Amino acid sequence: MQLVNGTQLVAVVIAGGSGTRFWPLSTADRPKQFLALFGQRTLLQATVDRLQGLVPPERTLIVTAARFAGTVRAQLPHIPLGNIIAEPQARDTAAAIALAGLVCRRRFGNPVMAVLPADHVIEPAAAFHRALRSAAAAARGTGRLYTFGIRPTYPATGYGYLQAGEPAAPPAGEDDGELPHFRVQQFREKPTRDVAEEYVRAGNYYWNSGMFVWSTDTLLAAVERYLPEHARRLFPLEAYIDTPQWEEQLAAAFGRVPKISVDYGIMEKAAEVYMIAAPFRWSDVGGWAALADFLDQDAAGNAVRGVVHGLDARGNVVFCEDASEVVALVGVEDLIVVRAGNRTLVARKDRVEDVKRLVEAMGQPGSG
């Protein structure tokens, strides 16, 4: 049985999201988590790769939409088939995580769960391991709900924020004491620009990473307290896990579960919420503009994948699915240029958030 600092650990990777921000590379059948935006590995594969040496495949659960289960199997052939939990409908993260918690309790007792989105970039892996070990050790047997706060590098308006309260010493003997732990004083929703600037100046606000660490019993007790309809609909499913009736029972119950995120449903209501100031580099890669930090850059500040020739062209982001494709830029600045198959996107950086609205109007919902 895998132990981290003496703690049983299970990784729960949430891989069911979809959107439109990475059109035209993404499609309805291939959302962001299944894309290889950097190198040869997809974001989902990189997320699971990052767990090597920390959590083995047999203790790694992947929660995804039923229609993506085949894609997950193809990208992660080393994950046991029974560890791919296929949601019959999208009911947001509270339902997905509660379902994973029931599987954890049924199979493993009361392990510590590390809940990780499948589409984030985190570097270096060693620092991530250190933070996860620290949170797991502190969460074991304490009733604490842990998350990771990302120190903001600019006044982002697209992220929620965590307000760090007083420092919190990990339980005696449960942690190496090297990473700062804080009680979360308050969750803040996505702010305006002026408010985000105030948060950055204050110094005790962190981006909400959307990653969580808690014991299984602590999570399920929180579901029962704060989301009683989730408990009423989902908890009876535990008796059917790993039985022939599982899919039928899941399909009958899941669609009736209220649609709500775990942030709104639990984290913003619970008292024992803590955070670790993350020692790693993090990005949720929320859209094409975010790729600039991870692609090669030329002397004019163009972030590129592909063969790009520029004349008086500065600060652009160019991404070609076929890395041998040639793109020429003349006299343009701050554009997003994407080539994928027979589809092309050209947008100003300051309008790239409108891609979602455009694609929906085209009647070709993509995914991102």
State the CATH number of the domain containing residue 112. Answer: 3.90.550.10
Do 332 and 292 share a domain, yes or no? yes
Do 267 and 307 share a domain, yes or no? no
Do 277 and 321 share a domain, yes or no? no
Reduced DSSP (H G I as helix, E B as strand, rest coil) percent helix, strand, coil of the chain, to 5: 35, 30, 35
pLDDT in tens, 31-66: 999 999 988 899 999 999 999 999 999 999 999 999
The verdict on residue 367 lying in a domain is: no
Do 150 and 261 share a domain, yes or no? yes
Do 187 and 267 share a domain, yes or no? yes
**Bridge partners of residue 337, in order along the sequence:** 318, 346
Quick one: pLDDT at residue 235? 98
The verdict on residue 368 lying in a domain is: no
Do 306 and 335 share a domain, yes or no? yes
* 3-state SS class at 348: strand
Quick one: pLDDT at residue 19? 62
Do 40 and 153 share a domain, yes or no? yes
Q: Where are the alpha helices (DSSP H) in 294-368?
A: 355-362
Question: CB neighbours of 249 closer than 8 A, spacing ≥ 6?
Answer: 236, 237, 240
Quick one: pLDDT at residue 1? 41
Do 252 and 304 share a domain, yes or no? no
Low-confidence stretches of the chain (pLDDT beneath 70): 1-7, 19, 171-177, 364-368
The verdict on residue 332 lying in a domain is: yes
Is this structure's pTM higher than 0.75?
A: yes
Do 43 and 116 share a domain, yes or no? yes
**Four-CA torsion 61, 63, 69, 74, nearest 10 degrees:** -40
C-alpha closest to that of 290 among 71, 120, 88: 120
Tell me the residue range of the domain where 339 lies: 288-362
Residue 169: φ, ψ to 5°: -75, 135
Q: Write down which residue in 228, 263, 283 finishes a domain.
A: 283
Quick one: pLDDT at residue 70? 96
Q: Write down which residue in 267, 283, 299 finishes a domain.
A: 283
Give the integer Cα–Cα distance in Å for 61 and 302.
38
Quick one: pLDDT at residue 4? 55
Do 273 and 304 share a domain, yes or no? no
The verdict on residue 77 lying in a domain is: yes
Give the integer Cα–Cα distance in Å for 269 and 261.
12
Quick one: pLDDT at residue 173? 55
Do 269 and 298 share a domain, yes or no? no
Q: Are 121 and 38 spatial neighbours (Cβ–Cβ below 8 Å)? A: yes
Q: Write down which residue in 251, 283, 315 finishes a domain.
A: 283
Instruction: Give the chain's domain count.
Output: 2
